[in-house]
């Protein structure tokens, strides 16, 4: 039976769900509070420079392929995808590690750092590939309704991978601190410390070393444009500048939305917005999770971001660059254990114009800098400037060049902006971390327990943070709606 479905937000999970629901024959409308589609994956353009405001890494290309294949399409129908070679650089205080686009190149680089390390690396990545196959084909495609979803022949025989941590597994096989940092880095995409993340999540290392790092020409916003085009071709109607002020409930049934002061009747309501914020749109009696519940969760970091236009090409950089020239563990403690502005932060620098000339004017460079920080910190212009000066000085030292004199402009984005633009809980950037006690059925549910016809999707529910999981989350909730409501 055809249903009228209203979706709050237009991020990856909401766009994904809208496509599946429209394909199933429903009348689907999306209401986005901002002026452009894409949620956190918006785009910023200035003076010929193009910036991805949010996600900038394209990993797990198979997930994107599967999404578009579900609609008889391919990614190449919408955007050009290029594999980066090298994938990225990691700058340490006394060395630079270059991660190539093939395992043989990566093994050679590991051997350069530590003789004999390529053998345990190949074994580690082979296990990571096993975990990836299980995760993608068995675990993440479940809606998080029951612990029994995790009980499969494959997971039961690998229980130790859920109770050991990434950190323990890596340090058992590698002793060089640079190699340890290199292998622990990918789980930061899951929003948690390596010593709190199950070793099963080493599948992120296979996503990194095995599947490679890619770039859609024109930037990550090309994916948003592709999904928007697909959604609209399926009949989805998208309204921007449409702030949802209330989810209206009658007799424990979601009945309508209040959008810009107007009532929009709906058979089903799906929120792809911040889960905590979405529940504040309900009267208290209909909220599933208390403030103390959210306070007790481990959230992924927030970020201090800078979007910088340079009037010349820069030296000694790649498309993706990680600056691990300070203490990895100290910074992690300042995010998770003792939240405060970090003393010596690690940071990430992205220069898409290195491989994609369309991202910057000729002979210029588009620069995106990111410092992970604890959510909920004080956010002031003075602090932003202080940290920009700190990282740009280190950037100049590590890349052996003067760049400050070549800055045309810089824009910043931090905790206050995440709250203002996305109603993000405490200004977090990536959602809720994937720790052992926040995995699968232990995450906030796709379906409301208190309100019929109300559903949720996105990075605070299953499967978790990241762009590929967001695509999967949209598919999962669409399937659940089909199962329960039709």
pLDDT of amino acid 27: 98
The answer on pLDDT for 476 being more than 80 is: yes
Q: Considering only CA atoms, which of 212, 57, 210, 214 is closest in space to residue 129?
A: 210
Q: At 155, is the pLDDT very low, low, confident or very high (cuts 50, 70, 90)?
A: low
Tokens of 31: 């209401």
Domains in the chain and their CATH numbers? 4-43+54-72+218-297+433-485 (3.50.50.60), 104-210 (1.10.405)
Q: Report residue 45's pLDDT band, with 50, 70 and 90 as the boundaries.
A: very high
Predicted TM-score (pTM) of the model is 0.96
Measure the CA–CA gap between 476 and 144, rounded to whole angstroms.
9
Q: In the predicted model, what is the mean pLDDT of residues 243-251?
A: 98
In degrees to the nearest 10, what's the CA dihedral of 422, 425, 430, 432?
A: -140
- Write out pLDDT tens, residues 328-358: 889 999 999 999 999 999 999 999 999 999 9
pLDDT, tens digit, 9 for 90 and up, residues 128-139: 999 999 888 887
pLDDT for the residue 150: 67
* Weakest-pLDDT range from 33-47, 177-191, 305-319: 177-191
pLDDT tier, 144 (very low <50, low <70, confident <90, very high otherwise): confident
**pLDDT band at 68, cuts 50/70/90?**
very high
> Any idea what DSSP says for residue 77?
G
Q: How confident is the model at residue 471 (pLDDT cuts 50, 70, 90)?
A: very high
Instruction: Centre a 10 Å sphere on the Cβ of residue 240 and count the other Cβ atoms it contains.
Output: 13
Q: For 249-263, what is each residue's pLDDT tens digit? A: 999 999 999 999 999
pLDDT tens-digit readout, 290-299: 999 999 999 9
Q: Which of 432, 324, 328, 338 is nearest to 377 (CA)?
A: 338
Q: How confident is the model at residue 445 (pLDDT cuts 50, 70, 90)?
A: very high
Query: Residue 153: enclosing H or E segment and its boundaries?
Result: helix 153-156
Residue 50 has pLDDT above 60, yes or no: yes
Q: Which residues contact 270 (CB under 8 A, 6 or more apart)?
A: 5, 6, 7, 8, 14, 17, 21, 454, 455, 456, 457, 477, 481
**Residue 153 pLDDT greater than 80, yes or no:** no
Q: How far is CA 293 from CA 124, 289, 418, 443, 484, in A?
A: 36, 6, 21, 11, 27
Confidence of residue 162 (pLDDT cuts 50, 70, 90): low
Whole-number Å distance between alpha carbons of 211 and 321: 18
């Amino acid at each position: 039976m055809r249903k009228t479905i209203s979706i709050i937000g237009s991020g990856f999970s909401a766009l994904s769900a809208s496509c599946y629901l429209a394909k199933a024959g429903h009348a689907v409308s999306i209401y986005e509070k901002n002026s452009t589609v894409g949620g956190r994956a918006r785009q910023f353009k200035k003076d010929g420079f193009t910036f991805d405001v949010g996600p900038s890494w394209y990993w797990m290309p198979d997930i994107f392929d599967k999404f578009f294949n579900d609609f008889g399409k391919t990614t190449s129908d919408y955007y050009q995808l290029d594999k980066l070679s090298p994938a990225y650089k990691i700058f340490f205080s006394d060395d630079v590690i270059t991660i190539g686009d093939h395992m043989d190149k990566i093994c050679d680089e590991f051997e350069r750092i530590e003789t004999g390390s390529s053998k345990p690396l190949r074994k580690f990545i082979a296990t990571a590939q096993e975990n990836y196959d299980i995760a993608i084909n068995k675990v993440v495609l479940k809606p998080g309704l029951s612990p029994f979803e995790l009980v499969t022949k494959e997971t039961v025989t690998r229980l130790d991978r859920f109770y050991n941590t990434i950190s323990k597994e890596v340090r058992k096989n590698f002793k060089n601190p640079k190699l340890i940092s290199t292998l622990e880095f990918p789980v930061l995409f899951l929003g948690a410390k390596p010593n709190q993340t199950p070793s099963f999540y080493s599948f992120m290392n296979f996503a990194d070393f095995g599947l490679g790092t890619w770039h859609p020409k024109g930037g990550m916003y090309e994916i948003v444009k592709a999904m928007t085009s697909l959604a609209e071709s399926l009949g989805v109607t998208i309204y921007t500048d449409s702030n949802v002020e209330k989810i209206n409930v009658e007799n424990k049934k979601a009945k309508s939305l209040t959008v810009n002061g107007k009532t929009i009747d709906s058979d089903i309501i799906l929120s792809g917005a911040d889960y905590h914020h979405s529940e504040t749109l309900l009267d208290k009696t209909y909220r599933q999770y208390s403030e103390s519940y959210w306070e007790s969760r481990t959230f992924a970091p927030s970020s201090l971001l800078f979007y910088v236009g340079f009037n010349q090409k820069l030296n000694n950089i790649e498309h993706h660059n990680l600056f691990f020239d300070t203490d990895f563990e100290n910074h992690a403690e300042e995010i998770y254990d003792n939240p405060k502005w970090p003393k010596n932060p690690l940071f990430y620098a992205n220069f898409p114009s290195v491989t994609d000339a369309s991202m910057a004017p000729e002979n210029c460079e588009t620069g995106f800098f990111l410092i992970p920080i604890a959510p909920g910190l004080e956010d002031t212009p003075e602090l932003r400037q202080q940290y920009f000066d700190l990282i740009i000085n280190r950037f100049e030292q590590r890349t052996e060049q003067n760049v400050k004199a070549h800055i045309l402009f810089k824009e910043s984005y931090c905790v206050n902006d995440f709250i203002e633009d996305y109603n993000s809980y405490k200004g977090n950037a990536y959602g809720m971390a994937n720790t052992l006690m926040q995995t699968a059925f232990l995450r906030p549910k796709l379906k409301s327990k208190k309100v019929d016809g109300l559903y949720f999707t996105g990075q605070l529910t299953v499967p978790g943070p990241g762009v590929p999981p967001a695509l999967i989350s949209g598919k999962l909730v669409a399937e659940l709606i089909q199962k329960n409501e039709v």
